[in-house]
Structures are given as structure tokens and as C-alpha cells.
Structure 1
């Protein structure tokens, strides 16, 4: 039974799958498409009845379900050596969070009033922590007392952390114990920083040491419980927010330069949340599994949706290797996720299902039956096959999953269709960015042909396409208009903080945010991302190639865990660095060499990466995929280097949102790339 709340707007009895978005009459202009709006709900904004317009409204709505309702859950640590977690979740209620948000908010307000904390343009407060209940408690307290949240990415490099602190004028930061030494070492370069609050419960000796170290660098160290006690002793009534009040400066991880601070207001975030509640179907007492970084806007909006309907949020232990264990204990209904995790679920299920004998035959019969039903009617459930075959896959995420969302990067149609029939629930791909509060478009449930698209505009948005003549995309293209996707709505930001140049490039005078992504709007009004305006380069023969687009196509191949495609303006062809999936690589190496290789043997896996026969097999697999995807000859990878040294945040080749830093990735593998080009372009007969 769905939660009863006026904020959830149910679907109509009949959904117009053929008109998921509609062009607004009279808006078509030369060089761009018409404006498109949601085909069911049109365009909603702060004037729409019952809409959420501030973040404190969201928590107030969550509280309506009752103070004793469970809210934030975590697995307690029962042993440090070895590290062991409780086999159940411990819960903090809505009422307990209500009390603690007042303590934390009152303490912060008093410290700013007394001058112990000094704001810049805004009274900013930093949070540097992985996902946990305290993160949400702190953020809710900031929403309640008109403070501005600044998230420091848990994996940001030292330079970017210092830049964000200085740029947003942070005078106080809540941090986990592991980050405090970094902040203390940075103290001399960020003189505006005055107070550090330790979120973790630490020993008296550790607290004394950090307190003394802080004094030597001119900082005040506080424990979280100490700050809460100060707020309890100095209570201040909540200060109501208003729609245009700045709620957060959210730093996007730049791939080439300093992060950009996206200024998001209460209205931006609240209406993005409201928009996602249109058509949301979750059970009473629904629970969300929180593992994607709360420092990123996608996870924050998903959790705000959960709060708005009085739902529960369960946090993973922080260890990716325990994620499935956490899920099986929590049994979530809502699993916000990303392709890199969902691809692993798909690959593991396919490897487990495609086995010899009756088990493999049953798996394939079940899969083909359910896929046929999906493509014919949009139905994802099947009483017999779900019980016999897919129940085991559903049990991987606890067995009660009802909504899986995929965002942050493209995911293949094949994987999406599989996940829909395997989990027998709504699996929706969406599209958004920090600049529009992670809310732009989302696929509709039970749409037989939704996979491969990111659905129609959300109710809070309208979109249009602008011609990109240099890449051959125009609003007059047949059968469907194509061009750079632009989005406008009450959820969209207006400015990068103290960055006029980038603001002018991103937001035009009519309020349209230019996404940098090339999209097509199909005959049903759905958006399909087809290319990227940036990251195009010209090969020596004059052909333009979009490197990210090519990486995304190759990246759906099971053998590929990561891929970096490189083009050189002095060369006529592309090369690539491929980080293979260990399980797939072991299978390929065994079939090519006839020798069994263990996934647990890193030396053997690394050696197989240097085997010419293995390399040739992987390249042939990629070439087959390229032809299936209709890549042009010059868009195909002609030479490849295999490596077990992955791109990562730690070696500075990836951003915290898992986008490749192209310059740094090239530098890491420069010698190998040069060696590939030194071999010359292979003839087609060798592919």
C-alpha cells in the first residue's frame, strides 16, 4: 500500500506512452527545437498547489508520520580487531533526529552570533564524511537554521579540499576522525577555518591529542556530543527558510580545473524532490539503501524523497565489499544506484545463469520469456519464472526491492532490460546534473521500449535542443530532432559561486542551462543522450570523434571494467587502455592459452595482459561490439593495451564522480600509448 501523502501524485489510470512529452505550441525557433514538457503533468513550479518549496518543509512532512517512526539506520561496530558489524540495523527515530537537529542547529547559530564563527557572504558549514546518520542530522540542522551546507568529497584531493574551504569561506567543518589530520595540516593555508567538529566517537586520549594539535595551529577542536550539549544548553527556535534562500554550495569535481561551486537554493532542491515524487510508488515504511556519496546531489535528492514521505534510510557500512551483505540485512525497497554497480550485478547474474545443463536452459527460457513480455506489454513480473529462477537474483539485494534508479552515467539497453525482468520491479534510468539538482528526465515504469532512453522531462522541467552544426546535429534532423540538450525549471541553478565566466557559459539570459550533452527527442517524447559537445577531437584526416561517446559504447562489454580511449590529432586512428574485468579476463586467458588462471592470482592476470593472443582476442571482441553499434571505421579502436592498474581517485585519474580525468589518464599511460602508435595502424585484415 503506498504511503498516504499529498506530496505523492499518482499516475493516471492510462499513461500516454506515445506522448510522454509534448512540444509547447509557438516555441519552435530557427536553430532550435520547440520546448518540450511532461506529457502527463505539464510544468510544475513553486506556485503549483501543495508543492514543496523549502527543505524544512520536507522534514516537517516526514515528521507527520510520527515521532516514533524509524528514520536513520546503521550497522553498529561490535569489534574493531577484526572489524565486525552487527548482523542487524540500529535505528534512530524521526523524533530523535528532530531533537538532535535543534541541538546542532542551535549550537551553530550561537557560535555565529558570538563571533566564534565568521561567515563570508553566507554562513557556510562544511561536512566531510562518508554516508552515515550524522551526515543527514547535520544537513537537516543546517536546513532548519538558515545555514549553507558545503560538502567536501570524501575522496577529493588535498588541493581541491583547500580550494573549496577557501572559496566558500568555511569557518567550521564536521569531519570524521580520518580526515581531521588533513584539515589540521591545511590550517595555515585556510585562515578562515576556526572550528573542527569530530563526528566519530573517539577515545579520551585521542580527543586530548587532537585538541592540543588543533590549538598549535590556531583551531578549536570539538567532539560532536560536546557541540550537541552546547546547543541543548543554548536553545534557539528553528528559523524558517524561504524559497530563494541558499541551501547548499555543491562543488562539482572538475576533470581539468578547480571544482565549480553550484549555488542551490531551498526552492531548487525542494522542487527537485517534489518532481521526483510524481508517480513514485513505494510501500508503507519504505527503506532506501544509502551507499552513493551524499556529497553528490543524486543521492541527496533520493534521500530527500524518502524523508518527504516518512520513509527510512539505511546506511551501508562504508565498505563496498560489504554492500551486498548490508543489503541482505536491510532488505531495501529503494536502491539508488549507478551503472558501474548495476553492470556488475548483470555480469554476475549472466555468468551464474549461463551454465551447462538444465539450470542454464531454465535460466535462458525464463529470461527470454520475460524479455518478450517486457517488449510486448511492459510487464516485468511473472509468477512462475520469478519464483523459480529470479528469486535468487532478487535475494542479492534483500528480496524486497521495488525501485532501482540508475544515474550519473549511461547504461546499456541490454543491461536495463535484464535488470527489469530479473528484479521484477521498476528500474528507471534518469538524467540530471548538479546544476539542475540531479533532476531533468526519468523513464516511466512499464514502458516496453524505455531502455536506451532517459525518459521524458520531469514535471519541474522543460527542455529544448539547440543545433550543433559542427557535429552535424540539428533540430531539423529526421526522423527526430537532435542537438545540445538545454533544460529550464524551478530546480535549475542560476550561478556558479564567484565564477562569472563559467556561469555565462552554462546559463543563458533566458535561464536555460546548457548541459553539454547532445540529445535526440524521439516520437514518444523521450530523451536519448547520443553524444557530448565537449571532448570531441579531430583526427589527422579531419574526422571528428567524440571520445566519451565511444568509451560508453565499448564500456558496456563484459570484458571491460574501465576504458580510456585516446586520439591524437597527428594520428589517423584511435587507441585504448582497457582495464579488464578479472573474472572475464581469467576466462578469456584460459580459453586462449589453455591454462587455468585464478581470479585470485594478480600476477597471472597481469601476465595475461601482456600475452599477444589475449590482447588480440580482447581487441577482436571490442571490434565486434563496435560493428554491432554501427561505429564508423575511424571511430573504432585499432590498438589496445591491457592493464590491471585501474583508473582511480587515488591515482588522480578519476574524479570522485567516477569520470576519467583525461589529461592525467594519458600521463599515467603515456609510454604505453606512444608504444601503440609506434606500431602503426593495423590493416583491416588483422582486426
Structure 2
């Protein structure tokens, strides 16, 4: 039986989106909450997808000859140019996954590849069709996938290969020399498979090098040929069979490997089929790292509903170009990207004269309509104003989703009216999801998914309790079929995170009168200021990042000091006109040298701090949460300088180290006057 999407009922009671399970309230925590529309699904539910091969088969059975995996081939190297998308169908992908899976099964069976306690297979690559081809093969042949972020440094790569006991690793040609260099430190690795065809001379050199360190070099085409000669049918999968080790990006220490079963991943994708209405062969643009569980789940959902996945070229600067060619229906994203979209649209539209007046009228008219009715289309303003914004991402968007970090209600609501499509906020890849058409869900993460229960547990140190009025507050805890079962070989972190069968997420949430959850704080990264106030630094950063001037921000506190500092990397598009006005000369966003000089000017610093203070007031931050001094820089936090993780999360210790001299210098100036924010 083929399972299709399960849309919301025609009439939804938006006032009651989740229900408290009777008899589950305990001291120090709320009751357990379940989805009010769909209830709670488990393995005994009559209609459910519980293994990853079932996910693939469900999409395949809708139309084997439909498009599945697409990419833009290189048509010129000098200059670099890419052609339109070319596609592999479900039928073609099925043939290739069987070949790859059969080859891996044979290599392990014959002992050419050896496993410790499970047959693990690594993938170290940017998103591309081959990534999913290998993953589909692993699902079908009882292998455990281990994904490595493409931008991981050698220490993390070495750690994961040894920790997961990877005997074989699929990767891109550019990573092969780095792997061979570290071969003595990763003796478990015996075979490297290149996704890219290798030039004969390069192949001979790499193979000769590999022989000296005991590592075979193969191409994907060889693995497929070997599998075709040793073809076996896919092996049966079960709900509790381990399918993946998903390693965190390691913000503070070694990456942790979350153990995920077929049931975890399949039911995550299946639960996303509730409350949506995809047309046949809907298309997703794949650019968020597949090593991250959020992107993995949304792509599995796309496959489950018979959709297709178009992979970006690998260059973030070409992402909009990719969208123009692909014209996706589904654009999964993260707040960092969507905040930039919002800021750019506002900067382009909110200008002097008639054009700016029309833009502001259109925005306010549609926002008023959205908040009153939940409707985000308008016959006049969509055609006159918002059609151009929607066209930036191809013009066919039906759904934009965001996860991994909080995003402001203002940004969510603007994107709903600007793209005139559904924009949903999710959490925990994915344990909650906003309802389509909910007029007031902006800023919330919605009710629990149909496979999850949620409760809030008191955080006394931060004064969050389940008895708070008007809304209960506490650490968000989740359980359900899609929740990971442990951290691999890591009892300490497993015990700290999984308590009494619940995942303690580290997010502080409240539940509103409509039964929706809202992330309001973080349990981690709390520090105490000199006067005793507790500050959640990530929360403060998230509040400030909605300010258009902010491209990146690091908020810093010292327990010996009574106030906060910040390093701000300003958005050049927003900074340039501010600097031009203050310095009384024309400065363009492209003029990096003049912008670098401008951020050193005390008047520019004062103006940026003033904008940040306005944002803090707008978000009702407490006085001690205000940033009192800032350092402006045009030198961003990056993965390359180790201040960002591969998922673009800030490595706080390294961010501080990068700007230690400047931050210490700001504190040396002494506490600013309480009546002025000037430096």
C-alpha cells in the first residue's frame, strides 16, 4: 500500500493544537502533551512507515519513472559554468543502489572490509546525488551510515573514522590526499571510494600512495561494476536496526555520535507527511549539509511522497542561480539564511519615495490580513510587489521550513507574505511543527508531531517553572519513535541527555494558550555577571540577530564584570549607507577597504550600538542583557578559522580567542555611563 500525505482537516481548531494527557502532571514538570489533531502514533498504528527501505519504496511505487536525484553538470571550467539540471529517476536510482549495496555486502562478507560491532560506512562530501545513492544502498543492505561534514578539520575526521571504526569511506577527489596523509593515524581505514572519476595519471599516483599505507583507492563506478557482478536482493530491515551514527559538529569537544535506528529516521520523515499537501513530484533544493539530521529528514520526507531532490552546485554564491534553474517547491533553510533574505528584501523595498510607500503599504496590508485570517495571498500586492521577491527562489515555492535555531516572529510573518507560501518553524529534526494557516503561529514552533510527546521540566536556576503564569515554562523534553537511542560509546553524555526515556534538549520553552510551544532560552551557555544576574548568551545573540545591521554576532560576558560586550560583523549592504551618511562620502557595499576603515570610526560604532539597543528594547531584553560596548569588524567568523562549526554554529571559545585582545580592551575602558550607550 502506498501512503500519501495526510493534510490537515478542512476545519482546524487553532485554539487547541495540543492536549495534555490526563494523569501525567508531576511536581516540577508539566503534563505530557500530544498533537490534538492526529493524536500519538506508535509502531502498532495501522498506517505508518517504520524502516528506511519503506520510505524509498513508498516514493518509488508512486511513479518509478519520476525524477528523483538531479544535479547541474559542469559545462565549462574556464570560466566555471554549470548547465541546467539533469535527472535520475526512481527506477535508475533503484538499480544503482542495489549495485552499491551488493558490493558493500560482498566486501564485508568476504572479509575485505572488517567491522568491529557493526558494519559502518562513511560519507565525507558536500551534498550531491552520489551521497544519497550510497545512503539508499546502506539502508537497503543493513549497513550503518556515518556522515562527516564536508568542512570538518583533520582532527575531527580522524576522530570519527577511529571512533566509528570506518573501514571504507566514500568521498570526493579533493579529500583523498588528506586521508592518505593521516593514514598512519587511522589504521582502520582500508578503502577510499571517490565519487569523482579520476584522471588516469592522478589515479595511478593515488593508488601507488595508497599501497604504501595499506589503503585501496577505488572509483564509484568500480564499486557499481563489482556489485553488478555480485548482485543480491536487498536485505530485510527492522524498526530497531541501527541505520546511522550522526556525529555532532563538536562546538566544545570531540563530536558525539548519535545512534539512530531505521525507526527513528523513518518515523521522523513519516511524521512530516502530516499537515502538508505536496503536488506530484514536488521538488526540494538541497544545500544544507546532509551530515546534519535536519536536512536528512526533509530529504527522506521528499522521497517518501514521491518528490525529487535537486542538489546545489556546491557554491553558496550560486544558490540563487541554482534556484532559478530548479524552481523548487520546498526550500528547507535555517534562520541565518532567512534573516539575510529578510534583511535584503527590507533594504531593497523600504526606500524613499513612491516605491518605498507602496512597499510599506503592501507589507502592512498583507500582515494585517495574515494575522486576522491566516491568508497570505493578495490579488493586487502579490502581483505588484511580492512577485519579484518570490521569483528570487524560482517562483514556485509552496513551503519554506526553518529549524536548528530560533527565528523571530517578525521574520517568519514577513516571509509568509513575501513568498506567499507556507513558512513553518520546526524543532529537533523534527519533534514539533507549526500548523498550516495558523494566523498567529509566528515565533512559535507549533504543537508536537504525531510521533512525539513533549513535557517541560523546571529550571530553578533560571526561574522557569511549570507553574509560571500565564504560560508554563521549562526545559523542553521529548520522547517518541523518532528520538535517538544513545550516543555511541559515550555513556556519560547519553545519561546526561536521555533521562527516564526523555531527551532533554537544552532548549527552554513555554506552552501558550493554543497548545503551541515557543523556544525562549537555552539552558546551556549560562554565565553569571558580577552582580549575580544569570545570562543565557545564545538567547541574547538570537534576539539581536534580527537587527538588519547584524550579519554575525558574538556576545561575551565576564563573571567579574557587570555588563555584556559583543563582537559584531555588520552586513555590508546595511552598513554602507550608514557609513556614507556619517562619514559624508559615498561608500558602496563592495568597497571592503573603506568599510574596514569605517567600522573603526567611533561615530559608526555609536550608530550601530544605537540600532542594537533599539532591537534589545523591542525584544524586551532585561537591562543586564543589553550589550553595552561593541567591537565592529569586517573579519567574519568562518569554518576555516575554526570559529564556526560545519553547521555554522559559533564555537564560543574560539570566537573569544579570535577577538580576545579587543574584548579585553573594551572591558579595560570601565563600565559605560548608565545614561548613555556611547563608547
Question: 1:283 maps to what in 2?
Answer: 279
Alignment map for 1:114-193 (pairs within 5 Å):
114-193=110-189
- SS of the residue corresponding to residue 447 of structure 1 reads coil
The answer as to 2:14 corresponding to 1:24 is no
Alignment map for 1:18-97 (pairs within 5 Å):
18-86=15-83, 88-97=84-93
- SS of the residue corresponding to residue 197 of structure 2 reads coil
Return the offset for 1:328. 0.8
Return the offset for 1:685. 2.5
Q: Aligned match of 1:578 in 568, 590, 600?
A: 568
1:230-273 Cα offsets, whole Å, 9 max, x none, are 11111111101111100000001121100100000000000111
TM-score (normalised: structure 2): 0.99
Question: 2:290 maps to what in 1?
Answer: 294
Q: Does 544-553 or 596-605 show the bigger shift?
A: 596-605
- SS of the residue corresponding to residue 19 of structure 1 reads coil
Question: 2:409 maps to what in 1?
Answer: 413
- SS of the residue corresponding to residue 375 of structure 2 reads coil
Q: Aligned match of 2:363 in 358, 361, 367?
A: 367
Question: 1:497 maps to what in 2?
Answer: 488
Return the offset for 1:67. 2.4
Q: Aligned match of 1:218 in 205, 214, 232?
A: 214
Question: 2:510 maps to what in 1?
Answer: 520
Tell me how far apart the structure 2 counterparts of residues 247 and 645 of structure 1 sit (CA, whole Å): 40
Tell me how far apart the structure 2 counterparts of residues 55 and 453 of structure 1 sit (CA, whole Å): 30
- SS of the residue corresponding to residue 383 of structure 1 reads coil
Question: 1:328 maps to what in 2?
Answer: 324
TM-score (normalised: structure 1): 0.98
Question: 1:477 maps to what in 2?
Answer: 468
Q: Does 97-106 or 336-345 show the bigger shift?
A: 336-345
Question: 1:435 maps to what in 2?
Answer: none
Q: Aligned match of 2:650 in 651, 660, 666?
A: 660
Return the offset for 1:5. 5.2
Q: Please say if residues 97 and 133 of structure 2, whose CA atoms lie closer than 8 Å, have aligned partners that are also in contact.
A: yes
Question: 1:455 maps to what in 2?
Answer: 446
Q: Aligned match of 1:636 in 613, 626, 647?
A: 626
Question: 1:12 maps to what in 2?
Answer: 9
Runs of 4+ deviating beyond 4 Å: none
- SS of the residue corresponding to residue 360 of structure 1 reads helix
Tell me how far apart the structure 1 counterparts of residues 206 and 55 of structure 2 sit (CA, whole Å): 36
Q: Aligned match of 1:564 in 551, 554, 557?
A: 554
Q: Aligned match of 2:530 in 536, 540, 560?
A: 540
The answer as to 2:579 corresponding to 1:589 is yes
1:487-522 Cα offsets, whole Å, 9 max, x none, are 01011112100000000000013x100011110000
1:500-554 Cα offsets, whole Å, 9 max, x none, are 0000000013x10001111000010100111111111111111111111000001
1:347-396 Cα offsets, whole Å, 9 max, x none, are 11111111222222221111111100000000011122111211111110
Tell me how far apart the structure 1 counterparts of residues 153 and 558 of structure 2 sit (CA, whole Å): 28
1:117-136 Cα offsets, whole Å, 9 max, x none, are 00111100000010110000
1:104-123 Cα offsets, whole Å, 9 max, x none, are 00110110011110011110
Return the offset for 1:7. 3.8
Gap runs ≥5 in structure 2: none
Q: Aligned match of 1:599 in 577, 583, 589?
A: 589
Tell me how far apart the structure 2 counterparts of residues 567 and 341 of structure 1 sit (CA, whole Å): 26
1:572-631 Cα offsets, whole Å, 9 max, x none, are 111010010011111111121111112111111111111000001111111111122221
Tell me how far apart the structure 1 counterparts of residues 236 and 379 of structure 2 sit (CA, whole Å): 50
- SS of the residue corresponding to residue 430 of structure 1 reads strand
Gap runs ≥5 in structure 1: 433-437
1:611-658 Cα offsets, whole Å, 9 max, x none, are 000001111111111122221221111100000111111111111111
Question: 2:601 maps to what in 1?
Answer: 611
Aligned residues: 677
- SS of the residue corresponding to residue 574 of structure 2 reads helix
Return the offset for 1:42. 0.9
The answer as to 2:437 corresponding to 1:446 is yes
Tell me how far apart the structure 2 counterparts of residues 179 and 383 of structure 1 sit (CA, whole Å): 51
Question: 2:107 maps to what in 1?
Answer: 111
Q: Please say if residues 16 and 39 of structure 1, whose CA atoms lie closer than 8 Å, have aligned partners that are also in contact.
A: no
Q: Please say if residues 7 and 51 of structure 1, whose CA atoms lie closer than 8 Å, have aligned partners that are also in contact.
A: no
Question: 1:391 maps to what in 2?
Answer: 387
Tell me how far apart the structure 1 counterparts of residues 247 and 660 of structure 2 sit (CA, whole Å): 30
Tell me how far apart the structure 2 counterparts of residues 24 and 572 of structure 1 sit (CA, whole Å): 44
1:322-352 Cα offsets, whole Å, 9 max, x none, are 1001101100001111111111111111111
The answer as to 2:300 corresponding to 1:304 is yes
Q: Please say if residues 275 and 436 of structure 2, whose CA atoms lie closer than 8 Å, have aligned partners that are also in contact.
A: no
Tell me how far apart the structure 1 counterparts of residues 5 and 202 of structure 2 sit (CA, whole Å): 47
Tell me how far apart the structure 2 counterparts of residues 144 and 677 of structure 1 sit (CA, whole Å): 58
Return the offset for 1:10. 2.0
Tell me how far apart the structure 2 counterparts of residues 102 and 121 of structure 1 sit (CA, whole Å): 24
Tell me how far apart the structure 1 counterparts of residues 356 and 276 of structure 2 sit (CA, whole Å): 35
